[in-house]
Amino acid sequence: MSLREVAVDAVSKNPNNPRQNVRESKIDELAQSIDNQGLLQPPLVRPVDDGFELVHGERRLRAVERLGWDTVAVNVEDLSDADALEVSITENLQREDVTPIGEARSYQMLINEHELTQTEAADRLGVSQADISNKLGLLDLPDELQNGILRKILSPWQAKELARVWGDYWLFDLAVDWELSVREIRNIVDRLEDGGGDVRFERQLSADTLGEFWDPAPDGLDGTTKILGSDGVEREVDTVWYLDRHGEPVTQLHTTDSRHGLLWASRTLEDCPVEMPERLYEDFETPPIRLHWPMQRLLVGYNRLSLAREYGYTGDFDVEVCFHTSFFEWRERVPATPEVER
């Protein structure tokens, strides 16, 4: 291997470079660093008929092109096609920002080029055969899920769980928007496969946030009702109304939640005058508030929210966020995502 100064336009890109996704902002940052400190590590090239072909160092070459350099220092090594690919793959696999999809493509190219088994490729690269097998399995995922991994908005494990119901339910947006964990996605997928009528997961939401879902009474209807306060005294509070499936206004019955609310108040608020029996503390668990997100409606927990207002509680509640299954049923058209670069 020798160090030479060559014309920048004499170096052609490697068409088999496994590193296909390079953020332009990173090229700008690298160009600024090279402009300030110089090129600390020359790219590696190999001689070809019409000049040189890049083996690795594409970001550095693009950075000096952006700086307008006419020449660049490079390390020149005479490598065969197969050897050049192996060097490029090995170098890229050692980078911190390589994605699992990038690793999988590198493994696949190496196996195809050298006609290797997975075990032989693992020995050559110093990784486990199980790791290569798991990574190659990612290439069987739908393109949208591969793109999610490439863009680092999904982990491979999240993508694999989503793939279980791919074509039946579109859960991609839900997983990303709500930052669902692998366990949460698995529970949702299990529920869908078992025929569950809704999708549920728990979050902590503040009293102020939940207050945004407090439904005003429809025009012409009494907007107040009485609830039992934590001191045993009835108080008038805003009545919560919603429309049933026929469009008729109905009200949530506070009495169905009053015991939960009273218990919550006695366990949460320091100035609550009601003392609950120890047995009740041990035997009774307050369920989370239930919120139907698309309808923007509280399903369970109105009384606890009333008590929060009464005592000025502004902390968090455990909330079970609900979506009806029909929101995720697969349609002929799904949100478009750019094609995965092959």
**248-255 contact pairs (CB < 8 A, 24+):** 249/217, 249/218, 249/221, 251/225, 252/298, 252/302, 254/225, 254/227, 254/302, 254/303, 254/306
Tokens of 56: 């690795």
pTM over 0.75: no
Give the pLDDT of residue 107.
Answer: 87
What is the predicted pLDDT for the residue at 302? 75
Residue 202 neighbours by CB under 8 Å, 6+ apart: 288, 318, 319, 320, 321
Spell out a b/e string for 296-314, using b for 16 or more CB atoms within 10 Å of the CB, else e.
Answer: ebbebbbbbbbbbebbebe
- The phi, psi pair for 299, rounded to 5°, reads -100, -35
> What pLDDT does 294 receive?
80
Write down the pLDDT at residue 20: 57
Query: How much is the pLDDT for 139?
Result: 94
State residue 78 phi and psi, 5-degree precision: -80, 105
Per-residue pLDDT, 200: 92
What is the block-wise mean pLDDT of the chain (342 residues), using blocks of 10 residues?
Answer: 85 70 75 86 85 85 88 86 76 72 86 86 86 93 93 94 95 94 96 89 89 60 52 55 50 47 61 56 67 79 75 84 90 55 46
- What is residue 254's predicted lDDT score, i.e. its pLDDT? 42
The residue from 58, 144, 184, 320 that is catalytic is 58
Predicted local confidence at residue 94, as pLDDT: 66
Give the burial class of 118: count Cβ atoms within 10 A of its Cβ; 0-12 exposed, 13-18 middle, 19 or more buried. middle
Q: To which H or E segment does residue 84 belong?
A: helix 81-93
Report whether 275 contacts 266 (CB < 8 A).
yes
Measure the CA angle with vertex 55, ends 95 and 102; round to 5°: 40
The reply to whether 58 belongs to the active site is yes
Long-range contacts (CB closer than 8 Å, 24 or more residues apart) made by 133-140: 135/100, 135/103, 135/104, 135/107, 136/104, 136/107, 136/108, 138/100, 138/101, 138/104, 139/101, 139/104, 139/105, 139/108
